[in-house]
Amino acid sequence: MASTSAAEVMNFLNEVAGRYPQAISLAAGRPTDVLFERLGTADLAARIDRYLDASGLSMATLLQYGRTAGAIHALMAQQLRIDEGVPAVPERVVVTAGCQEAMSLCLSALCLTSQDVALVCNPTYIGATGAAAALGIAVHGLTADGDGLPAAIDEAVAGLRREGRRAATLYLIPDFDNPTGRVLDRAQRLAILEACERHRIVVLEDNPYGMFRYDGDAVEPMAALDRAGSVIYLSTYSKTLCPAVRVGSAVVPETLFGDRQAATALFDDLVQRKSYLTVNTGQIAQAIVGGHLLLHDGSLRGWIEPARSVYRNNRDALLDRLDMRFGSDPRISWNRPEGGFFLTVDLPFAFDAAAVDECVNEEGVIVMPMAFFALDASQDRRIRLAFSAVGPERIAAGVDALARYLARRMAPQAHARETLAEPA
Ligand SMILES: Cc1ncc(COP(=O)(O)O)c(C=O)c1O
């Protein structure tokens, strides 16, 4: 599965989910519908009205084409400062069609020649590697994580240099990573920033899950720790409001490695690229987000509380059931994320696309092979479990179903069959 494209993975999963509509999906990292219960048509209209009131714009203006870098940049900068401590200034915010567009714009602006390479964690979010592939940008996977990342960056830079290539950017999800669920601690973030400053690598910090912490203390975003001017912060309202608005942003630092003009030039370049890609982010969607922020004192912290408590319960249900089913089995282990939507389970055998099929066909549960997010075979014996969109009872039933499947795969005869079936 190492070379599977993002499109192939999504098609495969949609196709599997379509064939087994009754199956329990621990594969999809969708936000809970609980978030949408307060967003009926009248609620959406009220947000648009509030935005029109505050901005003094007419509905006719809203229905027109708009400013390429966006209309609600000041409100978004304020929300990022209040909720996440990101030092965002309005003049440096490019409002985008979701984080996905922000990633594409930044990758294309930073990797200008065929020698420019994007560093990514291995495994990483498929939307980032998919965007790089669509743009024809080479990626280099860092299989180390946490404390090992700065050395892995040094090594990658040196290796690429020998090939006449250059690490231009590092795409990273420091908080509750998709797919693994891990968090980088403060010291690790600082060490990565130091390595990136030394090599003049621009960090793309993607943070859709940072507000969804269920216990433990928050770690400042890398954009807040950044002293060099090396971090572009990528934001989205997909998990805090709803994916349908397709509103996110790229926040350029005030200086790029100390150079204010270079940061301005990068911002202008992103805006120009956006003007040829989507012209501007839909103004109706921006008005919904803007009106929402105005109605909630510029912050989403209170708004996401019901969803946060749903996710915390789901996470606890998943951990409890994993403990119950596998707690005494040393062959299976998993991490205990303090937030986010995902966790990683380590298995004693490779879990591939055929296993997804078998598992849903025999037991009615869909899980995600970590190999789908990987650039090599290093993740073959891992799966990602998502706990965002399925309630506690179904999570428990899903883990029970997975346990039955895994027990069969790990039975001595299954092992013997696999060994015999292996080519010489
Ligand atoms: C790490 C990561 N980045 C970005 C996104 C998508 O963001 P958007 O919906 O704003 O394009 C997701 C969604 O699953 C994600 O997990």
| CATH number of the domain bearing residue 94 | 3.40.640.10
Domain presence at residue 37: no
Best of 178, 205, 387 for a ligand 1 pocket test (most atoms within 8 Å of beta carbon): 178
Does residue 103 have a pLDDT over 50? yes
pLDDT of res. 13:
82
Answer yes or no: is the C-beta of 124 below 6 A from any ligand 1 atom. Answer: no
pLDDT of res. 15:
87
Domain presence at residue 237: yes
pLDDT tens digits, residue range 171-211?
Answer: 999 999 999 999 999 999 999 999 999 999 999 999 999 99
Average pLDDT of the residues in 259-285: 98
CA distances (Å), 364 to each of 25, 135, 393, in order? 9, 37, 14
pLDDT tens digits, residue range 113-137?
Answer: 999 999 999 999 999 999 999 999 9
Does residue 257 have a pLDDT over 60? yes
Nearest partner of 142 among 130, 129, 127, 124, judged by Cα: 124
pLDDT of res. 414:
58
Answer yes or no: is the C-beta of 210 below 6 A from any ligand 1 atom. Answer: no
CA of 26 to the centre of ligand 1 (A): 17
Strands 382-386, 342-346: pairing kind? antiparallel
* Enclosing domain of residue 109: 54-295
CA of 418 to the centre of ligand 1 (A): 37
Domain presence at residue 49: no
Percent of the chain at pLDDT exceeding 70: 96
Give the count of beta carbons closer than 10 Å to the beta carbon of residue 423: 3
What is the residue-averaged pLDDT of the chain? 95
Does residue 166 have a pLDDT over 70? yes
Nearest partner of 234 among 90, 103, 75, judged by Cα: 103
Phi/psi at 249 (nearest 5 deg)? Answer: -160, 160
Final residue before a domain boundary, out of 246, 273, 295: 295
CA of 238 to the centre of ligand 1 (A): 7
Rounded CA separation 387/314 (Å): 6
Domain presence at residue 281: yes
Q: Are residues 319 and 271 in the same domain?
A: no
Answer yes or no: is the C-beta of 344 below 6 A from any ligand 1 atom. Answer: no
Which atom of ligand 1 is nearest the CA belonging to 341?
16
Which atom of ligand 1 is nearest the CA belonging to 102?
11
pLDDT of res. 419:
46
pLDDT tens digits, residue range 217-249?
Answer: 999 999 999 999 999 999 999 999 999 999 999
pLDDT of res. 39:
97
pLDDT of res. 424:
39
Rounded CA separation 194/307 (Å): 35
Q: Which residues contact 349 (CB under 8 A, 6 or more apart)?
A: 381, 409, 410, 415, 418
Let me know how long the chain is: 424
Residue 374 or 8, more confident = 374
Give the total number of structural domains in the chain: 2
CA of 405 to the centre of ligand 1 (A): 30
Does residue 418 have a pLDDT over 70? no
Q: Are residues 65 and 196 in the same domain?
A: yes
The residue whose two tokens read 């209209």 is 45
End-to-end CA distance of the chain: 21
| CATH number of the domain bearing residue 320 | 3.90.1150.10
pLDDT tens digits, residue range 327-368?
Answer: 999 999 999 999 999 999 999 999 999 999 999 999 999 999
Helix (H, G, I), strand (E, B) or coil at 415: helix
Final residue before a domain boundary, out of 273, 295, 317: 295
Q: Are residues 226 and 313 in the same domain?
A: no
Answer yes or no: is the C-beta of 125 below 6 A from any ligand 1 atom. Answer: yes
